[in-house]
Amino acid sequence: MFKKILIANRGEIACRVIKTARRMGIATVAVYSDADARAPFVRMADEAVHIGPAPAAESYLIADKIIAACKATGAEAVHPGYGFLSERTSFAEALAKENIAFIGPPVGAIAAMGDKIESKKLAKEAGVNVVPGFVGEIEDTDHAVRISNEIGYPVMMKASAGGGGKGMRLAYNETDVREGFESVKREGLNSFGDDRVFIEKFILNPRHIEIQILGDQHGNILYLNERECSIQRRHQKVVEEAPSPFVTPEMRKAMGEQCVALARAVGYYSAGTVELIVSGADPTGESFYFLEMNTRLQVEHPVTEAITGVDLVEQMIRVAYGEKLAMTQDDIGIDGWAIENRVYAEDPYRGFLPSTGRLVRYRPPVEGWTDDGSANGRRGIGGVRVDDGVFEGGEVSMFYDPMIAKLITWAPTRDEAADMQVQALDSFRLEGLGHNVDFLSAIMQHPRFRSGELTTGFIAEEYPDGFTGAPASQRLARVLAAVGGIIATADADRARRIDGQLNGPQPAPGDWVVTVAGADHAVSLEEEAITVDGDPVWLAMEYTPGEKFVLVSEFADGEDDDAAPLATYGLQLEPTRAGYRVTTQGAKHGLRILPAHVAPLAQHMIEKIPPDLSKLLICPMPGLLVTLHVGEGDEVQPGQPLATVEAMKMENILRAEKSGKVAKVNAKQGDSLAVDEVILELE
C-alpha cells in the first residue's frame, strides 16, 4: 500500500481524504494557497506545501506546482478530490510521466467521459439514450441561436468541461441565448480553463438521478445504487439522497447495468458517477437519458457510503494501488435512507446571494466526521455526520465555492432521516455571514419533499417569489410565545438585580404579551406552570440572560419526568428593540415582547418607513464587476441587464427594476465591489 499521498484539493474534501488515509495508516500531504494558510486541512495533514496566491488559477490549477510538492515530500500518489484538476487529462498524464500514481480513472476514460461533448458522442455510439442536442463546436452567439432554434426551446447551454452547476444557462428563447452564451463561455474558461459550449434539449419536469460506479484495474465494475439529486438551484445541487424515492428495483437494475456497460466501454476503473436525466412525466421511469459522466468522486458521495457501508475514498486508494475489489454486485445492498444537505454561504432571504466573510461563530451539530471503519462511523454520530473544512474565525473567501459544510443524516426510513435533518440544522450555530440553514430546514419540512414528488424545478416552483422562511405552525407559535415570556422574565429579573437601587429581592414581572407572526399571545409565568392564552405549555430549557443559543424541549404535560419530549428546538436568539428575533425550524421569527400592562399602548407607536432605494443599482454581494451593460444617459426598461458581477466563480446579472434614464455611473468594469456599493443611479 502507498506510504504517502498528496491531496490536490482544499476544504472539506481534503479533510475527508485525510481522515480515511489516516485510518489506513497512510501519511498525507496538503497543498494550500495564501487564502488557506490557516485552514483545518492544512493542520490535519502530516505535511503541507504552499503553492501560491489565493486565485485557483495561480495555485490549485497549476499542475507543475502539485508535482513539485510531490517530489519535495516524496508523495507516491495524488488524490485530486473534485473540481480543480480532478478531470484534467493533462494532469493525470503529467503525474504518470513522473511515476506518481493518480488516484482516479485512467487517462483514456477521463478524456472520453470528462469532455461532455465527446462523452455524448461515445454514449450514442454505444447505444445509450442521450438527450437530443448539438455536440459539435459552436462558432459564436449567432451560431448558438441557430442551433437552439433547430433543437426547439427550452434548451440548456453547458460548458463542455463544466461541473458543480457552473457554466450552465437555461434558455427559453433567442434573447436568453444571446444574453447567456458568452457568460457560459467565460464561466467555463474561468473555472475549468475550457470555453467550449454545447447545447441540448431541456427535458421538462426532469428528475436528476445518478448512478455510483466503482471499478478496479482487473475488469470488475459495480454500481452502488442511485442518488436522487433533483433539488437544485441554478443547476447546482442543494439536497441529495440515497436511494431515490422514485426509482424502482427494476429501474435501478436497468440504469445500473447500462451505466456499467458504458464504463466498461471506456475501460473505466476507480469511483465515478453516471448522471441521468429522467422524465418525471413518465410514470414507468423508462424515459431516462445519459447526461454526463463525472470521472471523479462526487460531493454527494457520503449518502451512498451511508446506505452501502462502502468507504469510496478507501476503495479509490486501493484500486489505484492495483488491488482487486473485495466485493461483488451481490454484496451491494441498501440499508436505510440517507440525506445530504449542502450548507452554503449564501443568503436565501436576499435572493440566495453569495455571502463572503468571517465565521464569527461556527458550531456544527456534531464534531467533524470521524470514521472508525464501521458502518456507524460512515454515518457519523447517532446517524448525523458533518463533513466540513472551515473553522470558527476563518474566512469564507470569494475565490472558491460557497460550501461551508455538508450535513448527512442516516435513519431506517426517509421520514426519520428528514426529521433528523431538521433537528440537526436547528443545532447549527453560524454567525458572521449569510447562510442557507433556514432554507434547508424548510425544504426538509415541505410537504412536497416529504411526498417524494421531486423535479429539478422544485425550488423555482415552490419558492417563485424567493424565500421568506418556513411558516410557523400554531404549535410552534405557542412554544415561541412561552419562550419569549421566559427569557423576558429572566432578563427583567437580571436588570432588577444589577441596577443597584433595590432594597432586597423583588419579583420579576411574569405577565407578558408576545407577538408571533402578527398574532398576540398572553403569556403568564406562575410558580407551577407557564400558560399561553390560558392553556399550559410544558417546556424544559436553560437560559442565561445574554445567551444566544437555547435548546428547548416540549413535553405533553408536566406529570411524567421520564417522558420523551414531543419535540426539541434549537433557538438562535438575536435581541431587537422590541424583543428578539428567533431562528428555528427553518425561519426567522420576530418576537415582540411587552409587559401585559404596556401592550395596549403599542398601537400608538410610530412606524419607521424605510427609504426608497429603487433608483439605485446596489451591488448585492462582494464581487468583481465583469460587464457594465449601460452608460450615462442610456434609457433602460424593467428587466434589462445593467451589470454583471462575478462572485464565488459564478456570474450574476443585475437587472433594472423599473424604467428610467441612467444619471450617474459610479463604477467601471474590472472594479472589485463591496456589498451594498452603488453601481449606478437613475434619474
User: Grid coordinates in use for 128?
Assistant: 445509450
If one counts every other C-beta atom within 10 angstroms of the C-beta of residue 503, the result is 5
**Distances from the Cα of 409 to the Cα of 418, 419, 421, 439, 489, angstroms:** 8, 9, 6, 17, 37
Query: Which are the contacts of 271, defined by CB distance < 8 A and separation ≥ 6?
Result: 212, 213, 214, 296, 297, 301, 312, 315, 316
Which residue type does 371 have? D
Look at residue 541 and give its three-state secondary structure. Answer: strand
Q: Report yes or no: 665 and 647 within 8 Å, Cβ to Cβ.
A: no
Query: Residues 187, 240, 292, 340: which is the catalytic one?
Result: 292
C-alpha atoms less than 13 angstroms from C-alpha of 373 in its C-beta half-sphere:
5
What single DSSP character describes residue 634? Answer: -
* E strands in 508-558: 511-516, 519-525, 530-532, 535-541, 549-555
- C-alpha 308/C-alpha 419 separation (Å) is 21
User: Are 193 and 269 contacting, i.e. CB atoms less than 8 angstroms apart?
Assistant: no
Helix axis angle, 141-151 to 174-192, nearest 10°: 120
Q: How far is CA 411 from the centre of its chain?
A: 21
130 secondary structure, DSSP code: B
Residue 81 cell numbers, joined: 478530490
554 is catalytic: no
Query: Cα–Cα–Cα angle for 393, 395, 398, nearest 5°?
Result: 170
**Residues catalogued as catalytic:** 292
